Amino acid sequence: MSTRVLVTGGTGLVGSAIRHVIQTTEKRNDEEWIFVGSKDGDLTDLQSTRELFEKYKPNKVIHLAAMVGGLFYNMNNNLDFLRKNMLINDNVLLVCHEINVNKVVSCLSTCIFPDKTTYPIDETMVHNGLPHDSNFGYSYAKRLIDVLNRGYFEQHNRLYTSIVPCNIYGPNDNFNPTASHVIPGMIHRLYNIINDNTVDTPQEERVFTVWGSGKPLRQFIYSLDLAKLAVWTLREYDSVSPIILSVDEADEVTIEFVARSIAKAFDFKGRIEFDTTKADGQHKKTASNTKLRSYRPDFQFTKFEEAIKYTVDWYLQNQDKVRK
C-alpha cells in the first residue's frame, strides 16, 4: 500500500522545491505526492480545511502553508500574521488528527527564536524569551505549532513534528517587493535597476541601494537543499521535538556579501550603496545544526554563490511566471 503525502503551501518556494526533488533525486514508487495551494482551499476556514483533506485522504502531511513576508511587511502587519497563521495551523493539525494522519511535518523559522539570547541558537531555546519586535505576530503563531505538536503527542500519541529552516531562497520564490524576503527582494530591485529604460544613465553609473547597513549576519539555505531535508524528515525523523535545518555556522554571511553575490550573478556594472536609514532587524540569529548533523553528517549544501546564480538565472528565464 502506497503512502499518500499531502503538501500544503505546495505551490510556493519550498513546496515547488519538494515537488522537484520528489520527481528527480528523491522519487519513490511507494509514495503518492499531492501539492495544494491557496486556490485549492482556505485553510483559515475549518470547514474548507476539512473538505480539502477529506478529498485527498493523506497518510502523511508536510504543512508549509502560511502567511509570510519580509522584515518590513512583518513590521506593519503583526496582528494579521498572528491571527491568520494561528487559524491555519490549528485547522490543519486538528483535521489531520480527525482523519487519522499519522505524521505531520510543519515548517517553522529561525526568526521565531528569542531576540535576547546566546548563540548559536538550538532546538531547546524556541520558547526561552520574547521574539524580536519586528515579527512578534508571526513568531508566536509559529511557536504555537511546537506547543500543538507536543499536545497531540501527549494526549493522542500523534507524531506531529516541525522543521526550523534558516532563511530560504531559490526558484519560485515571491519576488514581490512589498512582501518578499531579503534575497528575492534584492533580485527584483536590481533587475529593475538594470532594465530601467526610462533613464539614459549607463549601467556603470547606476546605483543598487541595499536597505540597512549591510552588516547583519544571516544563514541562508537553498530551497532544493531544504526540500531534500524536509523529505528526509518526513521519512526518517521520528521525534516531536523540532529540528533545525540550516547550513553550518561557518556558512553565515553578511547582507553586504549577499548583495555583492547577487550583483555578480547579474554581472551588474554599477555601484552598491547602503541606506542606513532603513532598519537592520536582528544583527544575527546564528542557528546550530548540530542535531541535523548527528543524523546527516555528510549532507552537502549547495555553495551560496552557486545557488544565488541558479536563482538569478531562474528569475531571468521565467519572467512570465515570477511572483512579483
The residue extents of the domains of the chain are: 3-172+219-250+287-302
For residues 222 and 285, the answer to whether their CB atoms sit within 8 Å is: no
User: How far is the C-alpha of 163 from the C-alpha of 107, rounded, in Å?
Assistant: 5
* Contacts with 304 (C-beta within 8 Å, 6 or more apart), sequence order: 220, 222, 251, 253, 261
- Asked if residue 71 has pLDDT above 90, the reply is no
State residue 73's pLDDT score: 62
State residue 70's pLDDT score: 61
Share of the chain above pLDDT 90, in %: 83
pLDDT in tens, 200-226: 899 999 999 998 999 999 999 999 999
* Contacts with 217 (C-beta within 8 Å, 6 or more apart), sequence order: 252, 253, 254, 283, 284, 286
Q: Phi and psi of 224, rounded to 5°?
A: -70, -35
For residues 52 and 41, the answer to whether their CB atoms sit within 8 Å is: yes
State residue 256's pLDDT score: 97
pLDDT band at 284 (very low <50, low <70, confident <90, very high): confident
State residue 179's pLDDT score: 67
Q: Phi and psi of 6, rounded to 5°?
A: -105, 130
For residues 117 and 125, the answer to whether their CB atoms sit within 8 Å is: yes
Of 179 and 312, the one with more pLDDT:
312
- Asked if residue 231 has pLDDT above 90, the reply is yes
Q: What is the CA radius of gyration of the chain?
A: 20
State residue 303's pLDDT score: 97
State residue 67's pLDDT score: 83
Of 73 and 92, the one with more pLDDT:
92
pLDDT band at 74 (very low <50, low <70, confident <90, very high): low
Cell of 146: 511546537
Q: Any idea what DSSP says for residue 287? A: B
State residue 27's pLDDT score: 94
Average pLDDT over residues 274-303: 93
Q: Phi and psi of 300, rounded to 5°?
A: -105, 115
State residue 274's pLDDT score: 96
Average pLDDT over residues 139-163: 97
- Asked if residue 234 has pLDDT above 80, the reply is yes
Residue 157 CB-half CA count within 13 A: 0
For residues 107 and 279, the answer to whether their CB atoms sit within 8 Å is: no
State residue 75's pLDDT score: 65
Known catalytic residue at 138: yes
- Asked if residue 168 has pLDDT above 70, the reply is yes
pLDDT band at 267 (very low <50, low <70, confident <90, very high): very high
User: How far is the C-alpha of 315 from the C-alpha of 309, rounded, in Å?
Assistant: 10
- Asked if residue 72 has pLDDT above 60, the reply is no
| Active-site residue, selected from the candidate residues 56, 73, 119, 138 | 138
Amino acid making up residue 208: F
- Rounded to the nearest integer, the mean pLDDT of the chain is 94
Q: Which CATH superfamily, name and number, covers 3-172+219-250+287-302?
A: NAD(P)-binding Rossmann-like Domain (3.40.50.720)
State residue 133's pLDDT score: 84
State residue 47's pLDDT score: 98
